[in-house]
Amino acid sequence: MSDVSFVRVEKASKSYTKASNNIPVFDNLNLDIPEGSFVALMGPSGSGKSTLLHAIGGLESLTSGSVKVDAVQISKMNQSQLSEWRSKTVGLVFQSFNLMQTLSAFANIELPLFLTKLSRAERKRRVNEIAELVRIDHRLNHRPSELSGGEQQRVAIARAIIADPQLLLCDEPTGELDQSTSAEVMNILRTLCDELEKTVLMVTHDPRAAAYSDNIYHFENGKLEFKRDQVA
Ligand code: ADP
Ligand code: MG
């Protein structure tokens, strides 16, 4: 881990307009995530955790303020610039896995590689390599419905990192898993940070999952509170 900030959120505000009512989510928020660190974001339901994660991943725009990732200002990009940037820079992992049900684990993991120029043989080699890393190599012919929750989440993590993005954004990745399966998934996320030097931002409700991170931020009343810096 370095001291260089990989994600920098500055003066970020977000509000939604619903039936001409303004619904503020957060206001004037700052967050720095050092390169190669693992940050957990906690807070009550509805506090804006997913909204902030989506803003950092370029999935949702801010009302004002800026997001820089690896010194690139994404707040000013248009939709096509954003989707190209996202495909190279960001891996996304969700609570409910979001796998394609009709495809095998192998084909799910391979999907992002169709946006690259890799040959079929190179894609296969890469899928096998990543599948081994997340310990799902023995289930590659299975469809999602034939996998446990933990196995499905490992497939989703493999898919998220297959194109080698620097930033991994995880929204409640253990939300649907039991405790021992959660621990397996958290060990994998920790390994991706420690060994592949991914920068990881994870939203979680679970203090046991948050304990795998380097830093914890708590979201309350539209403010971010710093809870722990294990690495300092
Ligand atoms: P969390 O992930 O912390 O549970 P969210 O970021 O999903 O919270 O939501 C924060 C707030 O923004 C909630 O009050 C939610 O109802 C509101 N919100 C989220 N998305 C929308 C939307 N598309 N339109 C209107 N309000 C929204
Ligand atoms: Mg959420």
Ligand nearest to the CA of 96: 2
Q: Max alpha carbon distance in the chain (Å)?
A: 54
pTM for the structure as a whole = 0.95
Ligand 1 neighbours by CB, cut-off 6 Å: 16, 18, 23, 25, 43, 45-51
- At 179-194, the pLDDT tens digits run 999 999 999 999 999 9
Average pLDDT over residues 118-128: 98
CB atoms within 10 A of CB 18: 8
Band of pLDDT at residue 2, cut at 50, 70 and 90: low
Q: State the CB neighbour count (10 A cutoff) for residue 77.
A: 17
Structure confidence by residue, pLDDT tens digits, 55-90:
999 999 999 999 999 999 998 899 999 999 999 999
At 232 the pLDDT is: 38
Distance, CA of 10 to CA of 156 (rounded, Å): 30
Q: Whose CA is nearest to atom 16 of ligand 1?
A: 46
- Encoded tokens for 164: 């080698």
Q: Which residue has the tokens 């954004």?
A: 169
Would you state the structure tokens that stand for residue 96, as one six-digit string?
């409910």
Distance 52 CA to ligand 1 centre (A): 10
184 exposure class (CB count in 10 Å sphere: 0-12, 13-18, 19+): middle
Amino acid (one-letter) located at 190: R
Q: Using the atom order of ligand 1, give the atom closest to the CA of residue 47.
A: 3
Q: What 8-state DSSP symbol labels residue 125? A: H
pLDDT tier at 228, thresholds 50, 70, 90: low
* Residue to probe by mutation, ligand 1, list 45, 50, 96, 201, most atoms within 8 Å of CB: 50
Instruction: For residue 117, name the pLDDT band (cuts at 50, 70, 90).
Output: very high
The residue type at 217: Y
Q: Is the pLDDT of residue 231 over 50?
A: no
And the tokens for 32?
Answer: 């720095």
Among 17, 21, 47, say which to mutate for ligand 1: greatest number of ligand atoms within 8 Å of CB: 47
